[in-house]
Chain A
Amino acid sequence: MDARYCEAMPLSRRGLLGAGLSFFAWAHMPKVASAASARDPRFLTIILRGAMDGLSAVAPVADPDYAALREGMALTREGESAGLPLDGFFVLHPSMKTFARLYAEKKGLVIHAAATPYRERSHFDGQDVLETGLPGVGKVETGWLNRALLALPKGERLPQLGALGVGISTPLVLRGSAPVMGWAPQRLAETNDDLARRVLDLYTHRDPALARALKAGLTADDLARGGAAMASGGGDPGMMARAATGAARLMMKEEGPRVAVLSFDGWDTHANQGGVRGRLADLLGGLDGAFAAFEREFGEAWKETAILVITEFGRTARINGTEGSDHGTATVAFLVGGAVRGGRILADWPGLKMPQLHEGRDLRATTDLRAVIKGVLAGHLGLSPAVLGETIFPGSALVKPVPDLVI
């Protein structure tokens, strides 16, 4: 195994995997693989933690109420704030040039006004619902993707190759008894500008002495880096492409995993979110860079790849008093890859007039995100609606998988 990918993990399950990829390479494996079909699909889930603002990523420029709600940061069809064209009703954020091209090539799909069943506004609980696949907040220690791997036929190669969690710890969506390995690009652990901003804010309210010291420490750091990191807030756009490149290379190894989860932090844009340029633009550009990296690294395997991008909830329809947006409800999900039936936007658009908004403030959810995930799992990994409705997403039998998402 390539030593670069071998990072000692403190948790036992991941420690087991520290032994290397060969852990998965049982002697009988190649035979099983050759006996099965020649298909060798890759499936990635990217979780955007912090609640990505769907109305900025894919803006409903033709909705008559959009521009007023997003005054100062709204995208337009033309001019300085122009987004990239999609279907005439929506435009794509101009930072996402790769996705725009893939959409044009019918390899990129947008699902709008989607949300999990969760209707409160806590990141932790929202992410729990997103990752456990439960209808609400509950204490389940396994994620839907791990349960999906367990539900695949035992003889299949894909579940036996295990799954990859990119990051310091295994994301909840991937926790469970199916084998999981961990890998992290080194820089991943160092991105803490957003945390610094939050701690500084807390100190400013509670402890002036600590606030002064931390502010001075951060300013010195900032000067050393020659940038205005504090102003830009959270996330590390460049990290996303690095993480994607590393993950893709692991997934291209003969005995490497075929399923992976990446989670990117920093999407909680309460202040100075920005429009065409700014904090969110940088993040979306970083995500777009990850798409480009996957396409490049996968090469021939790209045509059997599906990448699902989801976030715990959306943000308020109207911008707040600090040029940002607060926790909301429905948002956008992306599906991208050579195996995706793209070039479409799936949206039962609820409208942005006050009575149309959820609780008078959020984009209303018209698509259950579970239906989208189920559609991908059914189409790409071949899981049956019955299993999806019972063990993968318990109690969701009535939420039908969206058909025809993948080839």
Chain B
Amino acid sequence: MARPESPFQIGIQRFGLGAGPASRERLGPDIRAALLDEIRPESARIQGEGLPTTARGIQIVTQIEDKRRMEREARRQVAQQAPATPAIGEDAPGAMAAAGMQSNPPANPPPDPEAVRLRDVLHVDVKARIDHGLAAPAGFAERWVLFWSNHFCIALRRGQLMQGVAGPYEREAIRPHVFGRFADLLVAVETHPAMLHYLDQRQSIGPNSPAGQRRRRGLNENLAREILELHTLGVGGGYNQADVTAFARALTGWSITGFEENIDGYGAFVFAPNRHEPGPQQVLGRAYGQDGKEKGLAILRDLARHPSTARFLATKIARHFVADSPPPALVAALEAEFRKSDGDLAALARALVTHPESLVAPPAKIRTPYEFLLASLRATGAPADRIPALANALNLMGQPLWNPPGPNGFPDDEASLVAPKAIKTRLEFALQVARPLGGRIDPRELAEVLLGEALSTETRQAIARAETRPQGLALLLMAPEFQRR
């Protein structure tokens, strides 16, 4: 029985977050139309009650750190006083007993309640993000967000502060702009406190600025270099070390309130004129003489419409969504659209899903761990109520949320993802999802509904021959047709 659903399955897996049992009915037969329908700014936004702003996130983290510091200080003072007490002599018995109590903490101290709270700050956002992904009709808008969030990644490993700002960063800097202009997305990202902190921009001081002269500190090139190498032009995009340094000078003074300045609250972008390197800068052959922060902004806007940026982004998008070696025609079409529309990301998204090569089988990519997690939950309807467990599963599968190994983000190519430990861990996750569902789902029916014509004879047989329904369900989640997109 030949069925025409194959493009549906490819479309919803390659560009969406995967089908649920009711997806075909809900989205209709035309998967392209369903994907296009999500190209709206509101599809990318998360607006949830109780989600912190960046300022609030930084404030919470700072308060927790302050409290800990005071407690550490108090403990140190007690510890320092303790050995001195017996020397006083007179009232020794009581004092020694007290000192003895202090110097022998219990072998297993109770968990630090503040540590739990810090994680909770982050998990509120993790839950909002996962829920948003589960609620999405096809999930293209969310996949588009995930791409840009990884392109402009920050990492929790950069310090406590990131726990408070990782979520707000994505909601404030990425999501509102993914269907807008690339230039606006770029500016929103590079001026966000999370990025300024992550790539050390707030430590960068112009050597000839008042602050630089006074404090004998200088330039930090990290942000400037990564903007050129990872965010816009790409390696080989036509810049040299002199461009990096000049751009870094132009960015001096870009910082965050509430740290060095301690002015009006926490966590907003601030331009600190006393750290800004004076004078014009020459970047990519063009002179920038604007005042203050305008200099850096002007460079960013030019980078956003640079031909190298168009080529770099077109290639990266096609690689991420379609194939490690994407069809050249698709890359060319995306590049042309980016330039023609002056970086209109909605137009770029439309060009991606409507291109003739975009729904061609067979699937060439493997789902990332996060995509696999969401697809598994969407397919089975398993509840996403145990956020710590899901976050842990992502850690073990090799994609800790908002914590990539470097500023180049998580890899999405076959060689990186198809690794022994990672695939073995996917198996464990599949079982973890399938077991609690018990016999409530018939994996044979679900496989037909989710995969349609793409369901292979071997997978159908393996599922039907499974020893139990949960085992069959785990097999479905592990099947190549489910793992690949």
Interface residues of A (CB under 8 A from B): 9-11, 49-50, 122-124, 127-128, 168-172, 189, 192, 194-196, 198-199, 201-203, 205-207, 209-210, 212-221, 234, 265-268
- Assess whether B431 is in contact with A234, with CB atoms less than 8 Å apart: no
Asked if B427 CB lies within 8 Å of chain A CBs, one says yes
**Smallest CB separation, A168 vs chain B (Å):** 4
Interface residues of B (CB under 8 A from A): 366, 383, 385-386, 414, 418-425, 427-428, 431-432, 435-440, 442-444, 456, 458-459, 462, 464-472, 474-475, 478-480, 483-484
Known: A189-B431, A195-B475, A210-B423. A268 touches B467 (CB 8 A): yes
- Assess whether B418 is in contact with A221, with CB atoms less than 8 Å apart: no
Cα distance A120–B456 in the bound complex, in angstroms: 23
CB-defined A-B contacts under 8 Å, sample of 11: A11-B436, A168-B435, A169-B470, A189-B431, A192-B431, A195-B431, A198-B466, A202-B458, A210-B480, A213-B423, A214-B427
- Assess whether B421 is in contact with A265, with CB atoms less than 8 Å apart: no
Interface centre among B383, B431, B442, B443 (most CB of A within 10 A): B431
Cα distance A219–B292 in the bound complex, in angstroms: 59
Known: A124-B444, A195-B475, A201-B462. A170 touches B427 (CB 8 A): no
A172 CB contact (under 8 Å) in B423, B439, B475 = B439
Known: A189-B432, A209-B418. A195 touches B474 (CB 8 A): yes
Residues of B within 8 A of A220 (CB): 420-421, 424
The 5 tightest CB contacts between A and B, nearest first, are A169-B438, A217-B424, A217-B420, A216-B420, A50-B467
- Assess whether A196 is in contact with B427, with CB atoms less than 8 Å apart: yes
- 20 more A-B residue pairs beyond the given contacts A216-B420, A221-B424, with a C-beta to C-beta distance below 8 A: A9-B436, A10-B385, A10-B386, A49-B467, A124-B442, A124-B464, A169-B438, A171-B439, A189-B431, A194-B467, A195-B427, A195-B431, A202-B458, A206-B459, A207-B483, A213-B422, A213-B423, A217-B425, A219-B420, A265-B468
Residues of A within 8 A of B480 (CB): 202-203, 206-207, 210
- Assess whether B459 is in contact with A202, with CB atoms less than 8 Å apart: yes
Total A-B residue contacts, Cβ distance less than 8 Å: 126
- Assess whether A199 is in contact with B467, with CB atoms less than 8 Å apart: no
Residues of B within 8 A of A172 (CB): 438-439
Cα distance A209–B366 in the bound complex, in angstroms: 11
Cα distance A403–B224 in the bound complex, in angstroms: 86
- Assess whether A122 is in contact with B464, with CB atoms less than 8 Å apart: yes
**Smallest CB separation, A117 vs chain B (Å):** 19
Whose C-beta in chain A lies nearest to the C-beta of B470? A169
B483 CB contact (under 8 Å) in A128, A192, A210, A266 = A210
- Assess whether A202 is in contact with B479, with CB atoms less than 8 Å apart: yes
Cα distance A172–B423 in the bound complex, in angstroms: 31
Residues of A within 8 A of B467 (CB): 49-50, 123, 194, 234, 265-268
- Assess whether B471 is in contact with A169, with CB atoms less than 8 Å apart: no
Residues of A within 8 A of B462 (CB): 198, 201-202
**Smallest CB separation, B475 vs chain A (Å):** 6
Whose C-beta in chain B lies nearest to the C-beta of A141? B440
Interface centre among B385, B444, B480 (most CB of A within 10 A): B480
B420 CB contact (under 8 Å) in A50, A168, A214 = A214
**Smallest CB separation, B130 vs chain A (Å):** 15
Known: A10-B383, A209-B418. A194 touches B471 (CB 8 A): yes
Whose C-beta in chain A lies nearest to the C-beta of B458? A205
A213 CB contact (under 8 Å) in B420, B438, B469, B470 = B420
- Assess whether B424 is in contact with A218, with CB atoms less than 8 Å apart: yes
Cα distance A203–B469 in the bound complex, in angstroms: 20
- Assess whether B458 is in contact with A169, with CB atoms less than 8 Å apart: no
Known: A206-B458, A217-B421, A265-B467. A168 touches B478 (CB 8 A): no
- Assess whether A170 is in contact with B483, with CB atoms less than 8 Å apart: no
